[in-house]
């Protein structure tokens, strides 16, 4: 079977006097039968090329599935007189949401069986559920397309009936006022930007809902939330570099909204409430790694902010939790997350201790103020996800739950994790790399290694456990994460050095990390693979153009690869909100810089590695046509016979297939692709 050849229709794109010829621009016509036909042809070709791995894919799928506890449930948490539990039943794709009144010994109430809600839909996402303060109603949201556009409905938890209230085109989040008669929600505009906050009154048609706030600046999205104290409702308006928050008392639904601090360029802040004060994490006054301040509810402008935790040069403040007697900080130092516990009565502080060389630790769900018990989570490349309860006075820890790994002889001691530092080309920067492999896997140029990266938006990919990944490790692979610039692994400057006109540092770091792994004999180019999704797909696409023979294979998941065209088109979701990440190509300097690394614009006649590209037809974050066009251009220009496969899930969006087991089929395909290239089973 021959690879599909897409029709070429010349499209001239001119910006700043520079012409780009795009022969595959027409693929953005979602309703065009030729577009759908081409995507289906690519799916057929991918299936044909991978038909020799069908048994392997099935074996991988069953193997991955067997590791999961089929009848699992969450740790109960107590909130407003009820214990809440999320539970999975054997062989069901979606969870059940349950609760028990006052005691775990009480009869369980089934709030939602999302398997029933998902029936008849090829894609399903249960967005969220919010219970009214009198515990009688629950507002919940669902998406059955994959575009992250949710419909809100109301369920009477006492009778089980659905109320007639039905609100479409929302973000899915609901915040109840304390009167149990009104709630707030957010609508999306035509470009899927969260831009308006409405107030809904129960029993009325959504056409009568009251517009509370309209965010007119297209660089900003809005959010609505209630404080942990349940006393205030906030509307947050945020760009990638600025925030603005306004609030009302939760029991005064018709009150005027008061602004905490008006937006300023490069001023970021987030808020929590306790007693008479707002606690605020902010980068104000050059606190680039953030600091913690507090201010009274009555006088909340920035001029009244009082510093509690100062800015620290080597520590990034990522989050906090307030208790009656303790303040808990989530910090990052030297790339690793730390949990810092401060006794507010004595001023003494101490850190929780973690022993793995690379790990993830985080503050869990803590809904009570008047307690000495802290819930936190921990995982590493060798340790399954675990939840703990820590007594902050007694300094004692109880394991509440650890992820079970079934279906084999898994033991953490059979695997080795490391953290190493790769020298960058600038001679100064060192790029952290986290690795994991099975004990009996030898470091060797013959050893296959999968290198993962992201490196955008300040999002940090921490080292964590994966049930799925064991299927590669147990077949002799090394798995590595390159903590490259563009993320915040080493603080805010690590992010700033990998965005805008310094974006290429992200790609250079990944390349330098890969070359260091080869130099240190973990692998060789013949057995080295790269993987990234979304902005991580941009990463591997750019790297592939810069160093086409560095990797034997590339997996690009929902990749953002046509950066110039997308960032010039403000009708595409997310574009305007991302000018502070990539730059605005309507400015000539940014245009030429972005064009110099955009994967689609830099495909040339050359040898390319083996490539697997995936997308979702309903993707709202990265439109399907970006990877589709990229595949067409690669097919046209690449000069070798290496595999190039493109698979479109015609019923999913940016997150891939829905359901806890269905998504494993995507993992099985990707792993089978790698194992095929390694001649492994």
**In angstroms, what is the C-alpha Rg of the chain?**
25
**Local structure of residue 458 (DSSP, 8 states):** B
DSSP string, 1-49: -PPP-------EEEETTEEEE-TTGGGG-TT-HHHHHHHHHHHHHHHHH
d(CA 610, CA 623): 23
- Phi and psi, residue 591, nearest 5°: -55, -50
The 8-class DSSP code of residue 572 comes to S
Which of 534, 625, 535 shows the shortest CA–CA distance to 42? 625
Q: How far apart are CA 447 and CA 586, in angstroms?
A: 46
d(CA 655, CA 653): 6
Q: CA 618 → CA 36, 657, 673, distances in Å?
A: 12, 11, 24
Q: Can you state the percent helix, strand and coil of the chain, rounding each to 5?
A: 20, 35, 45
Q: How far apart are CA 32 and CA 40, in angstroms?
A: 13
Sign of CA dihedral 14, 20, 24, 27: negative
Strands (E), 268-384: 269-274, 277-282, 291-296, 306-309, 315-322, 326-333, 336-343, 349-351, 359-363, 373-380
In terms of Cα–Cα distance, which of 186, 208, 206, 189 is closest to 198?
186
Q: Are 640 and 608 in contact (CB under 8 A)?
A: yes
Longest Cα separation, the chain: 74
Helix (H) or strand (E) holding 53: none
Let me know the angle formed at the C-alpha of 487 by 579 and 234, rounded to the nearest 5 degrees: 65
Q: Is 654 a catalytic residue?
A: yes
Task: Please answer whether residues 462 and 542 qualify as being in contact, where contact means their C-beta atoms are separated by less than 8 angstroms.
Answer: no
- Work out whether strand 553-557 and strand 277-282 pair parallel, antiparallel, or are unpaired: unpaired
Selecting among 125, 143, 619, 667, the annotated active-site residue is 619
Distances from the Cα of 144 to the Cα of 118, 498, 597, angstroms: 8, 36, 35
3-state DSSP assignment of residue 227:
coil
Residues pairing with 530 in the sheet: 451, 554
- 306's CB contacts (< 8 A; 6+ apart) are 293, 294, 295
631: closest CA among 145, 57, 14, 35?
35
Q: Which of 132, 417, 534, 658 is catalytic?
A: 534
β-pair partners for 616: 649
Give the 3-state secondary structure of residue 297: coil
Catalytic residue among 245, 326, 527, 654: 654
Residue 457 to residue 580: CA distance in whole angstroms: 10
Question: What CA–CA distances, in Å, run from 254 to 185, 196, 251, 378?
Answer: 15, 17, 9, 42
d(C-alpha 333, C-alpha 340), whole Å = 11
Q: Is 667 a catalytic residue?
A: no
* Residues that are catalytic: 534, 619, 654
């Amino acid at each position: 079977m021959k690879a599909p050849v897409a029709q070429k229709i010349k499209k001239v794109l001119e910006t700043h006097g520079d012409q780009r010829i795009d022969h595959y621009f027409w693929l953005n016509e979602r309703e065009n039968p030729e577009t759908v036909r081409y995507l289906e042809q690519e799916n057929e070709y991918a299936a044909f090329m991978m038909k020799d791995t069908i048994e392997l894919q099935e074996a991988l799928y069953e193997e991955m599935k067997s590791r999961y506890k089929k009848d699992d449930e969450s740790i109960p948490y107590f909130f407003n007189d009820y214990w809440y539990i999320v539970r999975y039943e054997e062989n069901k794709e979606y969870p059940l949401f349950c609760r028990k009144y006052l005691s775990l010994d009480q009869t369980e109430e089934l709030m939602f069986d999302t398997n029933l809600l998902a029936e008849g839909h090829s894609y399903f996402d249960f967005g969220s559920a919010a219970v009214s303060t009198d515990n009688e109603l629950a507002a919940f949201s669902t998406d059955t397309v994959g575009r992250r556009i949710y419909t809100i409905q109301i369920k009477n938890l006492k009778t089980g009936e659905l109320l007639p209230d039905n609100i479409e085109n929302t973000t899915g989040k609901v915040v109840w006022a304390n009167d149990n008669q009104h709630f707030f929600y957010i609508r999306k505009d035509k470009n899927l930007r969260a831009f308006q906050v409405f107030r809904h009154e129960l029993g009325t048609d959504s056409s009568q809902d009251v517009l509370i706030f309209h965010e007119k600046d297209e660089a900003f999205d809005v959010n609505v939330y209630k404080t942990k104290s349940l006393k205030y409702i906030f509307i947050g308006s945020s760009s990638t570099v600025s925030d603005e928050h306004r609030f009302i008392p939760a029991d005064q639904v018709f009150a005027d909204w008061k602004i905490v601090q008006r937006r300023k360029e490069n001023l970021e802040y987030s808020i929590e409430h306790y007693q008479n004060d707002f606690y605020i994490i902010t980068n104000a006054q050059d606190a680039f790694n953030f600091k913690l301040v507090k201010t009274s509810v009555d006088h909340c402008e920035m001029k009244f902010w009082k510093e509690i935790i100062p800015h620290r040069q080597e520590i990034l403040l990522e989050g906090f939790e307030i208790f009656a007697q303790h303040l808990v900080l989530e910090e990052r130092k030297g790339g690793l997350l730390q949990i810092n516990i401060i006794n507010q009565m004595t001023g003494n502080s101490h850190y929780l201790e973690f022993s793995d060389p690379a790990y993830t630790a985080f503050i869990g769900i803590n809904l009570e103020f008047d307690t000495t018990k802290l819930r936190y989570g921990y995982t590493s490349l060798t340790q399954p996800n675990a939840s703990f309860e820590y007594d902050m006075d007694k300094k004692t820890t109880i394991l509440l739950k650890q992820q079970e790994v079934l279906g084999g002889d898994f033991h953490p001691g059979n695997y080795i994790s490391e953290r190493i530092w790769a020298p960058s080309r600038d001679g100064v920067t060192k790029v952290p790399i986290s690795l994991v492999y099975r004990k009996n896997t030898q470091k060797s140029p013959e050893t296959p290694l999968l290198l993962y990266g992201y490196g955008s938006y300040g999002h940090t990919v921490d080292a964590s456990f994966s049930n799925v990944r064991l299927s590669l490790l147990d077949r002799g692979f090394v798995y590595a994460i390159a903590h490259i610039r563009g993320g915040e692994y080493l603080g805010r400057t690590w992010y700033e050095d990998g965005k805008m006109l310094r974006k290429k540092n992200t790609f250079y770091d990944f390349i330098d990390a890969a070359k260091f792994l080869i130099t240190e004999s973990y692998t060789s180019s013949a057995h080295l693979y790269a993987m990234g999704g979304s902005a991580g797909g941009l990463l591997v696409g750019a790297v592939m153009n810069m160093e086409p023979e560095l990797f034997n294979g590339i997996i690009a998941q929902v990749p953002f690869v046509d950066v110039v065209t997308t960032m010039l088109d403000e009708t595409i979701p997310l574009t305007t909100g991302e000018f502070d990440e990539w730059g605005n190509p309507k400015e000539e300097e940014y245009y030429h810089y972005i064009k110099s690394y955009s994967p689609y614009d830099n495909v040339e006649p050359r040898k390319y590695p083996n490539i697997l590209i995936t997308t979702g037809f309903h993707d709202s974050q990265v439109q399907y046509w970006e990877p589709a066009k990229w595949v067409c251009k690669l097919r046209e220009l690449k000069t070798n016979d290496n595999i190039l496969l493109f698979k479109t899930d015609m019923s999913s969006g940016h997150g891939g297939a829905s359901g806890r087991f269905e998504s494993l089929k995507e993992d099985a395909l990707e792993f089978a692709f790698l194992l095929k290239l390694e001649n492994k089973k």
